Amino acid sequence: MISPAVIAEFENILGSQNVMRDETDRHAYSYDSALVEQVVPELVLRPTDRERLGKVIRLCNENRLPLTVRGSGTNLSGGTIPSRENGVVLLTNALNRILEINTEDLYARVEPGVITAQFAAKVAARGLFYPPDPGSQAVSTLGGNVAENAGGLRGLKYGVTENYVMGMEFFDAQGEWIKTGSKTVKCVTGFNLKSLMIGSEGILGVFKEITLKLIPPPQAQQAMLAVFDAVDKASETVSEIIAEKIVPCTLEFLDNFTICSVEDFRKAGLPTEAQALLLIEVDGHPAQVAEEAEKIQAICRKKGATRIQKARDTEERDKIWQARRDALPALSRQKPTTVLEDATVPRSKIPQMVRGINDLSKKYNIEIGTFGHAGDGNLHPTFLTDRRDKAEFARVEAAIDELFEIALGLGGTLSGEHGIGVAKSKYLEMEIGKGTIALSRKIKQSLDPENILNPGKVIGG
């Protein structure tokens, strides 16, 4: 139990309206977007400025209160599930100011609670481009994106969040202010702590301010959709496009089950008879866009696409990308429980991975809809089940264990973008080994000796 004296100190710093103790309030922060057991925090804190953020972290440390930072709670790995005892959830939603958009030096400074899509829109209004676009961008925060190193649809050409983080300020577990990186294009001053913090899932420090790189927007885009009557033909096309050294900004895959679910969800005009679709976009200089679009169409035809449809205007382009963004909500309607995975393989191994997923579906008699960032080797096999059906859910868990074995066997990784959190920490040793986990724990111990920051996540402990 957190003592009344400590609660009074939090209220002193934040005002009682920003210290939530009611059961209803606390329940709202007991879960996130992952399928892991809920834990109700004892206290929910909402700092309204960065100075107060530091103060509450210090107070948590002095009282050894486990602290879970929460942006919008959209992570898919249980990263914002509070700790079991005396758990405190710290909200960043009031730290939501864009501090600077610098159009001369092409960077922006933001507080961690800024919503990703709102930031991208503000940047676009100033004639610049912030490419990372996770599917959750309308809700997710930039702090959450950095802590998960979020990807998105444009990862193939533009990279992921880490490629845009120039610097940051954060508080360590003692509430000590730490600065790493800079507003300059180059910076090799001190250890590269910035890279350590990106993807650290709230276990090493709490971001206070983030400096993000901005780039000029592409002059032209061409979206297209290629229809295949066999999954193998589509997945081999992905490998072939990459092997031909063409880098589309987006190269997405949808299997038949996903196509039919999307069409059922919103009549988008997708061909439900197709066994697979590739949604592709190239961007850049108009001449280059035209040339690359031609080359891609030729590859699709060579690999047996039955139809290729080029978006003729913005409306058609938006329709294609809306269909992709509908994939998860559409699949989620099929069954009461959805488990979205993101095992990732080298891109040339996409055909084997897709085959492996289809074999799992047959072997365990489970419905799996597969879609995702095929160009990044990052598929999202989505297991559809009903958690109340214990026998079926046990088969889902066994299939997921095997999914990771297949991905690692192909030279892949446990997570391309959703992080480890609690959902995948049991698999970590399979990929990185005991030694790496021990070293990671030493780093955690030196930054957070009392183990208050999001304990139990990623590396356990």
Write out the binding residues for ligand FAD, residues 348-407 only, by CB under 6 A.
none
78 scored as a contact of ligand FAD (CB under 6 A): no
Q: Does 250 bind ligand FAD (CB under 6 A)?
A: no
315 to 344, contacts with ligand FAD by CB under 6 A? 328
Q: Rounded distance, CA 434 to CA 440, Å?
A: 10
Among 29, 47, 65, 74, indicate the residue that binds ligand FAD (CB under 6 A): 74
By CB under 6 A, name the one of 44, 114, 123, 150 that touches ligand FAD: 150
Query: What's the min distance (Å) between Cβ of 206 and ligand FAD?
Result: 4
Tokens 């925060």 belong to residue: 141
**Minimal CB distance residue for ligand FAD:** 144
Task: Look at residues 378, 370, 377, 380 and name the one whose alpha carbon lies nearest to residue 341.
Answer: 380
Among the listed residues 70, 109, 347, 424, the single contact to ligand FAD using CB under 6 A: 70
| 172 makes contact with ligand FAD (CB under 6 A) | no
Q: Which of 87, 151, 218, 356 binds ligand FAD (CB under 6 A)?
A: 151
Write out the two tokens for 367: 């419905």
CA 437 to chain CA centroid, nearest Å: 22
Q: Which two structure tokens, joined as six digits, stand for 131?
A: 């490419």
Are 129 and 159 in contact by the 8 Å Cβ rule? The answer is no
Question: Counting contacts by CB under 6 A, is residue 81 touching ligand FAD?
Answer: no
Burial of 118-141, coded b for 16+ CB within 10 Å and e otherwise, reads ebbebbeeeebebbbbbbbbebbb
Q: How far is the CB of 295 from ligand FAD (least distance, A)?
A: 27
Q: Is residue 423 close enough to count as binding ligand FAD by CB under 6 A? A: no
Q: Structure tokens of 124?
A: 């676009």
- Binding status of residue 211 toward ligand FAD by CB under 6 A: no
Residues contacting residue 227 through CB under 8 Å, at least 6 positions apart: 271, 274, 277, 305, 306, 307, 308, 309
- 80 sits near ligand FAD (criterion: CB under 6 A): yes
Closest approach of Cβ 298 to ligand FAD, in Å?
29
Our finding on whether 454 is near ligand FAD (CB under 6 A) is yes
Task: Please state, in angstroms and rounded to a whole number, the distance separating the CA atoms of residues 64 and 120.
Answer: 38
Site residues for ligand FAD, window 182-201 (CB under 6 A)? 201
Q: Exactly one of 14, 19, 26, 32 binds ligand FAD (CB under 6 A); which one? A: 32
- One DSSP character per residue, 370-400 reads EEEEGGGTEEEEEEEE-TT-HHHHHHHHHHH
Provide the binding-site residues for ligand FAD, judged by CB under 6 A: 32-33, 68-76, 79-80, 92, 112, 134-136, 140-141, 143-145, 147-148, 150-152, 201-202, 206-207, 328, 417-418, 454
